[in-house]
Amino acid sequence: MKTKEKISIDEFDGKRFQIRLVEPKDNKKAVLTHYLHNIHNGVSKHYKNDALNVLKEYVQYKELDENISLVAEEAIQQLLFEVENVPFPTPKNYKFQFIDLFAGIGGFRLAMQNLGGKCVFTSEWDKEAQKTYRANFGEIPFGDITKPQVKKYIPDNFDVLCAGFPCQAFSIAGKRGGFDDTRGTLFFDVAEIIKKHKPKTIFLENVKGLRSHDKGKTLETILNVLRNDLDYFVPEPQIINAKEFGVPQNSERICIVGFRKNYLGVSLSGRALRSNLFVRSSQKGFPLQSLTQIAA
């Protein structure tokens, strides 16, 4: 006689279940939890087919290999409760959608959620960071963002791209580094995503040393790509210390924000632009605080 049991996302890591999978396991839990997190909005359709295929495989495995009776709809409800019953849930009445690249344990996400944002995609390759991220938000990040099979899951029409990408030098062929000169670095992957999806706002952060890295050429190339190749309005980057905004940590980071010019809908020449910058405590995942900057 078949028995019923409670299930969990953790069971998708079971060795016997993994043996039955034809495709790599890395994206399976990410697809499923992203689908569940977006099940009440239109973004869910972006993940639906692959997520339901994962669930179907799992139900078949439980039936055939473990003699467990399991209905897909019942499994969805159990898993949905699991991913929503977390310390830092998505705001019910969110105001904007964002993606979280190089997510760590979720510092950017926590801040954006506090400001009314809804995360629709996240990527982080470190397995231990993924575990903490899941404990915080109920969602498993996708893995290596340089892989096409990961990038294909980024949905369209999100508002803000957040990325705390690593600092890497570029092989600059010309006097002013451009998009092609960034190939082979993680910034190139960020720029490629911006070029394809054209979010309204981009928010990048990095170590303070980015300003002087490679005698300033690295930052100059990043700004040139964002401003000229990708056509974003980017004020001068600011170095901000988290301790100045109520966070118990002396952490200086450089923040780069950009705005799609046709989204602003105004001429920026000779006018002041009021924009929001967000301060993030790197590594620790503390909430961001918002501040206002006037960029001439």
Return the pLDDT at 71: 60
Return the pLDDT at 12: 53
Q: Is residue 2 part of a domain?
A: no
Q: Is residue 90 part of a domain?
A: no
Q: Is residue 274 part of a domain?
A: yes
User: What is the CATH number for 112?
Assistant: 3.40.50.150
Task: Return the H-helix or E-strand segment holding 293.
Answer: strand 289-295
Query: Which string of b and e fits 179-212 if b means at least 16 CB within 10 Å?
Result: bebbeebbbbbbbbbbeeebbbbbbbbbbeebee
Task: Return the H-helix or E-strand segment holding 290.
Answer: strand 289-295
Which of 34, 60, 84 is a domain's end point? Answer: 84
Specify whether 255 is catalytic: no
Do 199 and 277 share a domain, yes or no? yes
Do 274 and 221 share a domain, yes or no? yes
Do 168 and 265 share a domain, yes or no? yes
For the chain, what is the mean pLDDT? 78
Return the pLDDT at 131: 93
Instruction: List the structure tokens of 78.
Output: 């159990």
* Residue from 54, 72, 69, 46 nearest 17 by CA: 54
For residue 127, the enclosing domain spans 96-295
* Residue from 92, 149, 88 nearest 286 by CA: 88
Do 256 and 136 share a domain, yes or no? yes
At 220-271, the pLDDT tens digits run 989 999 999 999 999 999 999 989 988 888 989 899 999 999 876 544 333 3
At 257-266, the pLDDT tens digits run 999 998 765 4
Domains: count for the chain: 2
Q: What is the pTM of this model?
A: 0.77
Do 208 and 101 share a domain, yes or no? yes
Which of 33, 59, 84 is a domain's end point? Answer: 84
Q: 119, 162, 167, 255: which is the annotated catalytic residue? A: 167
Taking a C-beta distance cutoff of 8 angstroms, is the pair 225, 182 a contact?
yes
Return the pLDDT at 265: 52
In the chain, % of residues over pLDDT 90 = 47
